[in-house]
Amino acid sequence: MATATLSIDLSALVENWRGLSAASASHPAAVVKADAYGLGLAPVAQRLAQAGARTFFVAVAEEGVALRAALGKGPTINVFSGHMDGDTPLIRDANLTPMINSVDQMLRHFEALPGHGFGIQLDTGMNRLGMEPAEWAAVRDVALDQSPTLVMSHLACADATDHPMNAQQLRSFQEMTHDIDAPRSLAATGGILLGPDYHFDMVRPGVGLYGGMPFADAVPVVQLHIPVIQIRDVAVGETVGYGNTWTARSPSRIATISAGYADGIIRAMGPQATLHAGSSAVPVVGRISMDMIGVDVTGLAHEPDTLELLGPHQTVDTVAAFADTIGYEILTSLGARYKRVYL
């Protein structure tokens, strides 16, 4: 079989959720947007719910509908994009909680779904989503009179613990919310690790659940093993792959493996990338193509049937560094062609 196998350890994911939950006295939610960071919305959310998660966050209402179908009645499903035009039937029928991020959204929600639960997003300096201080001051009394289920903001630099933006946003959030009765939330994974001043009433772990930084104590959740299609001898002076970008300087054994950028293995990784045969690292040679990658296995004692890109020897952040990107992009790019095995 030439299909790579992506193994997803749901027990490890739950362990990460519990570890981040234990770092705070606040209510622990779980962020499962983008198909649970590429690992499968239904199996991930169902396992987290079995472990005790009762509050979830998704990016858009359509994700919320799919999550409600997976979880059934009971858990709270919050939608980061708020109440967009056209979302009303989705929010109503799936009992979603939009995180309102503008005055226009507030008016739309109150007019379309009077009495339906909602949250509020505030912009504390990230300039992405949420009401700025002047907007919030103009509508806060009206909003609070309708009893929002949550008032939240999002940190821009929480993965850098000493970044001055963290304290700046914390002050802004405190100033905008210090005298309200509604539950508050500021911290995702990085914010949890900044300490209790950032925790408030609810924390929202995301990438840390899936084994990504900045949660250095995360248990690895994913492994990716890619089949070897063929191994060939390459003589000195011969080249491998498109563009003749790699030339053999000594007699070499080159494995062609069955995956490529169509499977989320970013082309820019190129010669920086390695895979593993057991504990032995083996380098990528030549360009990463759509469906195949060349790997130099010359030094191995035995010819491998598969090579490991993600697993005990390389985390998602290690692999991300090959392409000068972040673990989030690696996770959410994992291809649909992989055979997925849930452990």
Which residues are identified as catalytic? 33, 242
Residues 260 and 291 sit within 8 Å (Cβ to Cβ) = yes
Residues 221 and 325 sit within 8 Å (Cβ to Cβ) = no
3-state DSSP call for residue 70? helix
Structure tokens at 138: 């103009």
Give burial (CB, 10 Å; 0-12/13-18/19+) of 100.
Answer: buried
**Total number of residues shown for the chain:** 343
> Half-sphere exposure of residue 232, counting CA atoms within 13 Å on the CB side?
12
Residue (of 85, 43, 42) closest to 60 by Cα position: 85
Query: For residues 41 and 3, what is the distance between their CA atoms, to the nearest angstrom?
Result: 22
Q: Which ranges of the chain would DSSP assign to H, the alpha helix?
A: 10-22, 33-37, 41-51, 61-71, 88-93, 103-112, 133-145, 164-177, 189-194, 316-322, 327-333
Structure tokens at 185: 């939330």
The region, left, alpha or beta by phi > 0 then psi within -120 to 50, assigned to residue 82 is: left
Residues 100 and 112 sit within 8 Å (Cβ to Cβ) = no
Structure tokens at 48: 């987290």
Query: For residues 2 and 296, what is the distance between their CA atoms, to the nearest angstrom?
Result: 19
The region, left, alpha or beta by phi > 0 then psi within -120 to 50, assigned to residue 309 is: alpha
Which amino acid appears at position 197 of this protein?
A: D
Query: For residues 279 and 198, what is the distance between their CA atoms, to the nearest angstrom?
Result: 40
Residue (of 115, 71, 70) closest to 92 by Cα position: 115
